[in-house]
Amino acid sequence: MTYIKTLNSFTIKDVEKLTGIKAHTIRIWEQRYQILRPKRKDTNHRVYDNDDLKHIMRIAYLYHNGYKISKLAQMSDEEIIRLSLEQPTSNNYYQLQVNQLVEAMIDFDQAKFEKIFHTVILRIGFEQCILQVIYPYLEKVGLLWLTGSVVPAQEHFASMIIRKKMLVAIDGLELPTNGNYHFLLFLPEGEHHEIPVLFVQYLLKKTGFPVINFGPNVPLEDLKFYTMHKPVSHLYAHIVTHYMKKEMDHFVQNLSSLFPGTTVIVSGASVENVSQPAPANVILLKSVHEVMQYIYALA
């Protein structure tokens, strides 16, 4: 584990974002209860390693469930882990699973990651697992990315497991029966975050719509060639990578003009950066819930 520990270090602000506990409160807990003993940089700023992060995430989970910090401070690591797993099922159940997925990712623990994923699917179903656990997990990983606290190998390790589970779920669905619409999904050039578009593929196929997924990093000319030979009623693009306003405006206008007879749907975080009114054949969907509402309304 030496390799991981030398690569991962977290500031107190990182810990605050990931646990929901204010940095000021964490400092008090350290001074009063010695729940953590962070290392110090030359600047005297606190630095937390992987084990520190996992420990404080468990404590924060129990704290949010009503346990007093004075009681938690007296427990061993083993007692805290056991108590976390014994919590009754509630909305906080999802938070526990998210935290454990982060732990498994940090440690490259494939068996643990897959076991958590499988257990959650059995308990609440695949669709709710993605919405309640995987999406919040990806948000936490995004926070770690922003602070440079996750190395690419860890993110790829976890993403490939999720991708594999999603492909199995898609393959297990019945063949489409609703021929009124034909969807073509893609990620534009430079975009490689497949998980959101795979979930849309799952939802469309589950609803009965024929759907083709071109995957990541697709040139627009490839889409144009396909639409010249096959019927496409809806073109769907998902963008996670940050685009500037001018880039998003140009992208949306370009899609609209290249596919004038097609309904173009653009979703993802970068939709917020579209500053011009969308053309008549373009629909902008900001969240996964808006995407789901649109799909179910069509069905």
Q: Which CATH number goes with the domain that contains 26?
A: 1.10.1660.10
**Residues 190 and 293 placed together within one structural domain of the fold:** yes
**Residues 288 and 278 placed together within one structural domain of the fold:** yes
With a pLDDT cut of 90, the percent of the chain lying above it is 49
Q: What's residue 2's pLDDT? A: 34
Domain count, the chain: 3
Q: What's residue 90's pLDDT? A: 54
**Residues 151 and 258 placed together within one structural domain of the fold:** no
| Residue 105 pLDDT class (50, 70, 90 cuts) | very high
User: Would the pLDDT of 143 be above 80?
Assistant: no
If you average pLDDT over residues 116-133, what whole number do you get?
94
User: Would the pLDDT of 94 be above 80?
Assistant: yes
Q: What's residue 43's pLDDT? A: 66
Closest listed residue to residue 38, CA positions, set 16, 53, 58, 22? 53
Q: What's residue 208's pLDDT? A: 94
Q: Report the chain's terminal Cα–Cα distance, integer Å.
A: 49
Question: Where does a domain end: 172, 188, 210?
Answer: 172
**Residues 34 and 129 placed together within one structural domain of the fold:** no
**Residues 194 and 252 placed together within one structural domain of the fold:** yes
Question: Where does a domain end: 172, 187, 205?
Answer: 172
CATH code where residue 280 lies: 3.40.50.280
CB 243 within 8 A of CB 272: no
Mean pLDDT, the chain, integer: 87
Give tens-digit pLDDT for 21-52.
Answer: 899 999 999 889 888 877 776 666 788 887 88
| Residue 187 pLDDT class (50, 70, 90 cuts) | very high
Q: Is this structure's pTM higher than 0.85? A: no
**Residues 33 and 16 placed together within one structural domain of the fold:** yes
Give tens-digit pLDDT for 252-271.
Answer: 999 999 999 999 999 988 88
Interatomic CA distance for residues 89 and 171, integer angstroms: 30
Higher pLDDT, 147 or 287: 287
Q: What's residue 20's pLDDT? A: 83
Closest listed residue to residue 59, CA positions, set 24, 87, 31? 87
**Residues 223 and 250 placed together within one structural domain of the fold:** yes
**Residues 67 and 107 placed together within one structural domain of the fold:** no
Give tens-digit pLDDT for 151-185.
Answer: 788 888 999 999 999 999 999 999 888 788 999 99
**Residues 83 and 137 placed together within one structural domain of the fold:** no
If you average pLDDT over residues 81-102, what whole number do you get?
77
Question: Where does a domain end: 46, 72, 87?
Answer: 87
Q: What's residue 237's pLDDT? A: 95
Closest listed residue to residue 191, CA positions, set 145, 139, 241? 241
Give tens-digit pLDDT for 212-267.
Answer: 999 999 999 999 999 999 999 999 999 887 677 788 898 999 999 999 999 999 99
CATH code where residue 167 lies: 1.10.1240.10
User: What region does 273 belong to: left with phi over 0, alpha with psi -120 to 50, or beta?
Assistant: alpha
What residue numbers bound the domain in which 282 lies? 174-298
CB 72 within 8 A of CB 79: no
Q: What's residue 177's pLDDT? A: 81
Higher pLDDT, 2 or 244: 244
With a pLDDT cut of 70, the percent of the chain lying above it is 91
**Residues 136 and 99 placed together within one structural domain of the fold:** yes
**Residues 69 and 45 placed together within one structural domain of the fold:** yes
